[in-house]
Amino acid sequence: MVAREKNIISKRLIHSYLSSVISITLVLVLVGASALFAANAGEISRFFKENMVVSLILGQSVTEEEGQELARKLTSDPQVLSADFISREQGTQEMKVLLGEDFLSVFESNPVPLSIDLHLNGDMVSRDSLVFLKSRFLKEPAVEEVVYQESLVEILNANLRKIVAILTGVVIVLLFISFVLINNTVRLNVYSRRFTIHTMRLVGATRAFIRRPLMRHALVQGAVSGLLAAGCIAAALWWAGSSNEILLQILDERITGFVLLGVFFLGIIICQISAFFVVNKLVAISKDDLYY
C-alpha cells in the first residue's frame, strides 16, 4: 500500500514537473521568436533595400562593349554591390514576358536599350542618397537615364520603421507575460511543497537552508525549459532555412546566437527570481495560512 502511494505521488510529481517545463518552454519560444525578428530587423531592412534594383538606361549610340566596361567600373564602386549588364537581347526577352511576344511588331527597329541593373549598399537606399547617386550616375557619358521606384523606397523605409516599433512592443509585452506565467508556474510548484517547508522551519532550518534545494530545482527547471526553447527555435530556423535560403540571408548568425543564448538564460533567471520570492513568502506565513 505504501509503495503504491509512493508510486502515485512520484507520477504526480513527474507529471507536474513536465507540465511546468512544457508551459515555460512554450512561453520562452514565443518570446524568443519575437525577439529574434526584432533583433534582426536591421538585417531584414538591409536585405530588402539591397534587393531593390536601380536601372541605368544607356544611350542608343552606346555599344555593348562600352556598356560592359561601364558595368565593370561600377562594380568597383563601394556603394554598389553588383552591376549586371543587360544586353538588347536580354531586355527584349524580358519585355516579351511583360508585353507579349508580338510587342516589337509596332516598331520599325528594336527600341529596347542597353541597360545596367544595380544593387546598392543598403545604407544608400534612402531618398536623399539615391538623389545624390542619380546625379553621379548621370555624369557618365554613356548613361541617358536613371530609373528606380521612388515611392517604393519611401514605403519600404516607413514600413520597416513601423515593423521594428511593433516588434519591439510585442517583445516587451511578451516579456511581461512570460514573467507572469512562469512566475505562476513556479509558484504552484513551490506551493505544493509548503508543508515540507513548514516542517523544515519547525526544526530550526534557516531561510537559506530551506531555499537552497528549491532554488536548485528552479535552476534545473529553468535551464531545461530554456534549452528546449532555444532548441525548438534553432530547429525551426534550420527547417525553414533548408526549404528557403532567403531566411538564412536575412538572419545574422551572431545576433541569432545571442538571442538563443538569451532565451536560455531568461528561463533560468525568471525561474530563480520567482522561486526566491515564493519561498520567502511561504517561510513567513503562519500554520493556519498553509491550508488556504
Burial label for 282, CB within 10 Å (0-12, 13-18, 19+), is buried
Q: Comparing 137 with 246, which gets the higher pLDDT? A: 137
Range name among 78-87, 145-154, 188-197, 210-219 with the lowest pLDDT average:
188-197
pLDDT above 50: residue 2: no
| CATH number of 53-148, picked from 3.10.129.10, 2.40.160.20, 3.30.70.3040, 3.80.10.10 | 3.30.70.3040
Report CA-CA distances (Å) from 69 to 74, 80, 88, 287. Answer: 9, 15, 16, 88
Question: 243 pLDDT band (50/70/90 cuts)?
Answer: confident
Residues 181-201 have a mean pLDDT of: 71
| DSSP-assigned beta bridge partners for residue 55 | 117, 147
pLDDT above 50: residue 143: yes
Q: What pLDDT score was predicted for residue 265?
A: 92
Please give, one letter per residue, the 3-state secondary structure of the chain: CHHHHHHHHHHHHHHHHHHHHHHHHHHHHHHHHHHHHHHCHHHHHHHHHHCCEEEEEECCCCCHHHHHHHHHHHHCCCCEEEEEEECHHHHHHHHHHHHCCCHHHHCCCCCCCCEEEEEECHHHCCHHHHHHHHHHHHCCCCEEEEECCHHHHHHHHHHHHHHHHHHHHHHHHHHHHHHHHHHHHHHHHHHCCHHHHHHHHHCCCCHHHHHHHHHHHHHHHHHHHHHHHHHHHHHHHHHHHHHCHHHHHHCCHHHHHHHHHHHHHHHHHHHHHHHHHHHHHHHHCCCHHHHC
Cβ contact 69:116 at 8 Å: no
pLDDT above 50: residue 5: no
The listed range with the strongest mean pLDDT (188-192, 193-197, 200-204, 229-233) is 229-233
Residues 1-7 have a mean pLDDT of: 49
Query: Comparing C-alpha atoms, which of 93, 73, 94 is closest to residue 83?
Result: 73
Q: What pLDDT score was predicted for residue 104?
A: 52
Domains of the chain, by residue range, sit at 15-45+159-291, 53-148
Q: Comparing 134 with 288, which gets the higher pLDDT? A: 134
Q: What pLDDT score was predicted for residue 231?
A: 92
Residues 59-84 have a mean pLDDT of: 85
Range name among 9-23, 36-50, 116-130, 225-239 with the lowest pLDDT average:
9-23
Task: Please state, for a pLDDT cut of 70, what percent of the chain lies above it.
Answer: 75
- Residues 150-178: pLDDT tens digits? 766 667 667 777 777 787 787 788 778 77
Q: Comparing 60 with 15, which gets the higher pLDDT? A: 60
Q: Comparing 159 with 265, which gets the higher pLDDT? A: 265
- Residues 73-94: pLDDT tens digits? 888 888 888 888 888 777 667 6
